[in-house]
Amino acid sequence: MDLTPAKGDRVPASLPAGFEFNQASLQDYVDCPRRFQLRYLLMQPWPALVAEPPHEFEAHARRGADFHRLVHQRGLGLDPEILASTIHDPILKRWWQTYLAHPPEDLPEPLQYFEVLVAAPLAGHRLLAKFDLLAVTPGKRLVIVDWKTMRRRPSRTTLAKKLQTRLYRLLAVETGARFNQGQPPRPEQVEMIYWFAEDATTERFPYDADQYSADRYELSRLIEEITARQEPVWPLTPDVRQCRFCTYRSLCERGIWAGSSEDVEDDLEFLDLEMDLEQIAETEF
């Protein structure tokens, strides 16, 4: 397969000025450098389906977004019965009833912040994240909660390796002073919880100083590796399983058919989330 750019094609040698990293872009690079290059450097449109059948995937994506909206509105104080009256999808209604009956346990009090946007500098770039919920007991605990609505639950090992798990806890430490009476929290005070709407189960990931140091080092190294790349065509992933849900698979001659929406192990519907940068709580460079 010849992926060499045609003569005259625009091939950016570096990231666009002011490029900002988030869990989606970093995970894209780890999964497949070529996907990162196509999506973020070349901004290549490619109209392939993410998953089959498309109407089911799109409905599931909308349902997941609606669930996040409902939880956010409940966190703002809206009556859960009034919110329930707006739900017409049976699966979404089941998720909502599950959430009301079995919310995450042992969350810090008294402060809870929903849909929190944060940013901090690392390796000369800005890292961004959006916490579904940040629960805080100032001076004691900061817990990030992330709502997961996928059909297929990833293993704990998979979740532990996800860039989201590493990036979110790191940013909770880096930006947590805003929520912690002006004092940066210690890594041991930070925890991340994934809550799964299908069965109300959780996976909890505590943090410590060694993990924090390792995450700062590894994420810095990853950003430096990305920014140093100069080749015209970045490598394709050797793991073709990564191609099942990639919109560029036919462009890369890695198949023309999308994977089944039943097998999706990520909240793909949120990977292209547009963040309102004006609202982001940022640690200054």
Q: C-alpha distances in angstroms, 136 versus 62, 103, 141, 181, 194?
A: 29, 16, 6, 10, 16
Q: Are 198 and 96 in contact (CB under 8 A)?
A: no
**Which is nearest to 150 in space by CA: 197, 201, 202?**
197
Average pLDDT score over residue span 93-103: 97
pLDDT interval class at 279 (50, 70, 90): very low
Query: Over the stretch 44-68, which tens digit does the pLDDT of each residue have?
Result: 887 645 444 566 778 888 999 999 9
Q: Which residues contact 186 (CB under 8 A, 6 or more apart)?
A: 173, 209
Domain boundaries, the chain: 28-226+236-282
Q: C-alpha distances in angstroms, 272 versus 54, 99, 207, 255, 264?
A: 17, 25, 27, 23, 16
Query: Over the stretch 210-261, which tens digit does the pLDDT of each residue have?
Result: 999 999 999 999 999 999 999 999 999 999 988 888 889 888 888 776 544 4
The neighbouring-strand residues paired with 142 are 136, 190
Query: Over the stretch 129-138, which tens digit does the pLDDT of each residue have?
Result: 999 999 999 9
Q: Is the dihedral of CA 66, 28, 150, 104 positive or negative?
A: negative
Helix, strand or coil, per DSSP, at residue 203: strand
- Domain 28-226+236-282 fold is Lambda Exonuclease; Chain A (3.90.320)
Rounded to two decimals, the pTM is: 0.87
Quick one: pLDDT at residue 284? 42
Tokens of 262: 């039943």
CA atoms within a 13 Å half-sphere pointing along the CA-CB vector of 194: 22
Quick one: pLDDT at residue 266? 57
Helix, strand or coil, per DSSP, at residue 217: helix
